[in-house]
Structure 1
Amino acid sequence: MATVQVPLLEDRDAELDKSLDSLETFLELLGFCHYTWLRATVSWIAFTLLAVGLPLLSIELSRCAGCDKYEILDFELEILVFRALVAGVSLICVSRTLRKYGLRKALFVDRSHGHLAQFRKQYIRRIHVFYSLLASWFGICFLLKVARELTRVLYVHQYSWGLSAILFSSCLLSWAYSTLVFLAGCGLFYLVGNLQVIHFENYGKVLERDLDVSVYIEEHMRLTHDLSKISHRFRIFLLLEFLIVTACQFVSLLQTTVNHGIINLVNGGDFALLSIVQLVGIVLCLTAAAKISHRAQSLGSVASRWHAMVTCNSNDALGSGYLGNTENPELPRPTGSLPVNYSESDLESADLMPLSTNVELSSSASSYHKRQAFVTYVQSNTGGFTIFGWMVDRMLINTIFFIELSLVFFVLGKTVTITTR
């Protein structure tokens, strides 16, 4: 009996499709896939019940007289509001993007980009990184939440153990849903950034091919166009999340410093846990945005180095009357054999780009001017992830850090006083 052999290429395509389908299923379970009105309605009903209704009911049922030492109602309500806000923004922005473009186009891994087979393994690896990051950070925060709720049940136990167990489970369920929705939205943007970095890092390999300069320009235009799409689709998401997190940290610091009672793990632990979750999400978003920006900005350095090496190698080869053979040490070496120190640090993202090893380009004046025009174009159109014109890079992140630090010192200066005799 003849056996049918499935091509290896189709197996790999099926593996990538399986990874994307599992990712879409995971996002659908969290309520992000609003492809139909029915799904959107069910998603928002679940959000209203789990992120707002259930925690409100738990707060109302767990109230007790004389428990101010272990439970502060204002703290609980403010935590609920900010936790629901960041989750709601994540749900609105991500679901809108998925509904409008679909998962594959939102991640820029659809077949229309022509890079599906080339980056298949890297796509799958980055999707696995998304799951690993989400599982690790959610797991750590979940353990902290369980510890806090167990401590709270032990100190504020006023009902039967059955009702306490129900309240304990409802608190964990509502917290887990809101936290997963928020972290999944931030993680999805982190995944989009990592997938786009693959395309930027591949640009150096494009220069290795003996192509016309116009092809290099078209590829660069495609990269910058995709980057502008990412900025347009996610700028509202990043801006709103950052503003809400900043407001939450301001209120948390203000409430804990002006409170005249004792702040302990039971009554103030949720503030600390909420801050950790929000900080993780914002760091993921800013890291992805800054990484995209610096990979885009490094293309100017890559193009300049490619132009210099090709020009020098071509001139040396023409001067010696020999091209291509490097067995004689006195003859000019190919471009790729020039000593280059590669850095694994993200601070030197340009060094992560491979260099061209092609030495067969024409050394004519026309070819030189074309390459020079190409380098000028790349250096003048660096691009990057922007939020309404503001480039998200390390300089902006440093500025944000010092603004937040100034805000902290301002609140502390207004609320904390040190008396000396």
Structure 2
Amino acid sequence: MAKEGREIASSAAAAVVPLLRPPPQRKGSYARCLSHAGDELKSFRTCLRWMCVDHSDTLRSAVSWSMFFFLSAAVPAADHLLLIPASSPRRRYDAVVQLSLSAAAALAYLSLSGFVRRHGLRRLLLLDRLRRDSDRVRRGYAGQLGRSFRLLAAFVLPCCAAEAAYKAFWWWRWRSAAGGRWPAIGAAAAACVLELASWAYRTAIFFLACVLFRLICHLQILRMHDFAAAFQAETDVAAVLRQHIRIRQQLSVISHRYRGFIVSALLLVTVSQFATLLLTTRPHAQVNIYTAGELALCSLGLVMGMLMCLRSAAKITHKTQAITSHAAAWHACATIDPSDAADDPETHARTNCEEGDGSDSDDEDDEEEEEEERDEDDLDDAKLMPTSYAIASTVSFQKRQALVTYLENNRAGITVFGFVVDRTWLHALFMIEFSLVTWLLGKTIGIS
């Protein structure tokens, strides 16, 4: 009886822990998220803890809020009010820099802390929904979890290195201009370290929110690849329909969670860039690396983070909507030429496979994934076109037509308060921003 009880308890524990890959049995666990202390999210939890965004208990929550107010408010305010003279031309630019970075950090911090507190890290990254996905999706998402840290470092480290070089140049320039008013070496070093820590903290937390959004969108791209493969192997239209409904529900959840962050970040970046443009184009403005170097770094960081979010949202929307055309092609090919596929399905499948080059090997998938990251185009037709119509011909015409009609009238995608974030939406956004820029330039330097 004791042995049977241990076996039942072990099987129950394994059933309630949805992981990308099964972990070893350990004592530590996170009951709320149903995650394991040594699972794939260990690196993310460590990252959140070191970035002081960990609210797992009262003490860590207090430390997190204290570090946020210290590095995002106290240090920038002291830097602006105490270290930069009121007569310095850099003071006006520094106000925009500090306010923009602090506002971006506050937006990202409040969003991340709210997400983790309400949903938990596992549900935030949608890992609780991976149990019904294929092994290919799990492997791809596990690889993207590790790649996210490299992407975060690729954005944050160059920005921090450039800021460190700028601070060294600024302190050296200020020492030459200050003469006898130069502070002690220890005080100057401490002030410089605090400034760099504040800059790194605010930049990293904003990029972390953007990278997490990109990671979640990439999971849907992996699911769309898996969904496209269903046209080649699935004979049950109802199963394909259920899979698409599940993807739509996931996209709706992502849109609802991140719509506030996307709109707020877009407004913040727009206001910051317009303030930058207004300051740099005013009459007698002194624009050089000493006065406006930090302003350029701030603008570059905010714009890159915003573009990452918009590109990820538009990419998953466009790839999701592209399924409709491929489903229509699948239906048309099965309707026009079902007899050839039924007569010799193996030859027909081999011919279409050779023409479409639709190999499913892991090596080619990895190469195509790398190309996909470098290119914003939709999925190539050869990847989504069915390699065999023998299976499709076994499905009745009415069922295929119903599925295509459903896909045409239920195009999923990332939405922001009802507006689908696709390339058309981005083009409209660009035209609005460009119109505002030309209007502002007309008011400042007289462009008509």
TM-score by length of 2: 0.81
**1:297 offset after TM fit, Å?**
0.2
**1:214 offset after TM fit, Å?**
0.8
Greater mean deviation of Cα atoms: 382-391 or 122-131:
122-131
Q: Distance in 1 between matches of 2:133 and 2:196?
A: 42
Report SS of the residue matched to 1:260.
Answer: coil
Return the letter of the residue paired with 2:423: R
Q: Distance in 1 between matches of 2:437 and 2:444?
A: 11
Is 2:239 the counterpart of 1:221?
A: no
Report SS of the residue matched to 1:410.
Answer: helix
**Residues 75 and 194, structure 2, Cα contact 8 Å, conserved in 1:** yes
**Residues 314 and 421, structure 2, Cα contact 8 Å, conserved in 1:** yes
Is 2:29 the counterpart of 1:29?
A: no
Change over 3 Å in CA distance of 1:11–1:204 after alignment to 2 = closer
Is 2:185 the counterpart of 1:161?
A: yes
Is 2:393 the counterpart of 1:372?
A: no
5 Å-filtered alignment, 1:362-401, equals 363=393, 367-401=396-430
**Residues 310 and 358, structure 1, Cα contact 8 Å, conserved in 2:** no
Q: Distance in 2 between matches of 1:64 and 1:140?
A: 28
Give the equivalent residue in structure 1 for 2:434: 405
Is 2:120 the counterpart of 1:120?
A: no
**Residues 232 and 389, structure 2, Cα contact 8 Å, conserved in 1:** no
**Residues 163 and 196, structure 2, Cα contact 8 Å, conserved in 1:** yes
State which of 374, 396, 414 in structure 1 corresponds to 2:443: 414
Give the equivalent residue in structure 1 for 2:103: 85
Greater mean deviation of Cα atoms: 270-279 or 55-64:
55-64
* Gaps in structure 1 of 5+ consecutive residues: 1-9, 327-331
Give the equivalent residue in structure 2 for 1:5: none
**Residues 299 and 350, structure 1, Cα contact 8 Å, conserved in 2:** no
1:115-150 alpha-carbon deviations (Å, 9 max, x no partner): 264423211221232112211111111121112111
Q: Distance in 2 between matches of 1:11 and 1:417?
A: 58
1:84-131 alpha-carbon deviations (Å, 9 max, x no partner): 111111111122122222222222222564126442321122123211
Q: Distance in 1 between matches of 2:382 and 2:344?
A: 28
Is 2:206 the counterpart of 1:176?
A: no
5 Å-filtered alignment, 1:5-404, equals 12-14=21-23, 18-64=39-85, 68-69=88-89, 71-72=90-91, 74-110=92-128, 113-115=131-133, 117-157=135-175, 158-258=182-282, 260-317=284-341, 322-326=343-347, 336-337=352-353, 339-340=355-356, 345-349=375-379, 351=381, 353-361=383-391, 363=393, 367-404=396-433
Report SS of the residue matched to 2:356.
Answer: coil
Report SS of the residue matched to 1:19.
Answer: coil
Q: Distance in 2 between matches of 1:368 and 1:335?
A: 24
How many residues were matched structurally?
A: 397
Q: Distance in 1 between matches of 2:59 and 2:328?
A: 53
Return the letter of the residue paired with 1:109: L
RMSD (Å), alpha carbons: 2.6
**Residues 31 and 43, structure 1, Cα contact 8 Å, conserved in 2:** yes
1:193-225 alpha-carbon deviations (Å, 9 max, x no partner): 112110011111122224311111111100111
Q: Distance in 1 between matches of 2:298 and 2:387?
A: 51
**1:377 offset after TM fit, Å?**
0.6
Return the letter of the residue paired with 1:156: W
**Residues 301 and 350, structure 1, Cα contact 8 Å, conserved in 2:** no
**Residues 97 and 106, structure 1, Cα contact 8 Å, conserved in 2:** yes
1:347-379 alpha-carbon deviations (Å, 9 max, x no partner): 232527434345444757x81111111111111
**1:166 offset after TM fit, Å?**
1.5
**Residues 334 and 359, structure 1, Cα contact 8 Å, conserved in 2:** no
Return the letter of the residue paired with 1:372: Q
**1:62 offset after TM fit, Å?**
1.3
**1:325 offset after TM fit, Å?**
4.8
**Residues 313 and 333, structure 1, Cα contact 8 Å, conserved in 2:** no
**Residues 214 and 309, structure 2, Cα contact 8 Å, conserved in 1:** yes
**1:65 offset after TM fit, Å?**
6.7
Q: Distance in 2 between matches of 1:367 and 1:133?
A: 46
Change over 3 Å in CA distance of 1:79–1:352 after alignment to 2 = farther
Q: Distance in 2 between matches of 1:281 and 1:11?
A: 28
**Residues 31 and 91, structure 1, Cα contact 8 Å, conserved in 2:** no
Change over 3 Å in CA distance of 1:184–1:210 after alignment to 2 = closer
**1:382 offset after TM fit, Å?**
1.0
Greater mean deviation of Cα atoms: 148-157 or 343-352:
343-352
Q: Distance in 1 between matches of 2:357 and 2:390?
A: 24
**Residues 334 and 357, structure 1, Cα contact 8 Å, conserved in 2:** yes
Report SS of the residue matched to 2:41.
Answer: helix
Change over 3 Å in CA distance of 1:372–1:271 after alignment to 2 = same
* Gaps in structure 2 of 5+ consecutive residues: 1-18, 25-35, 176-181, 359-367
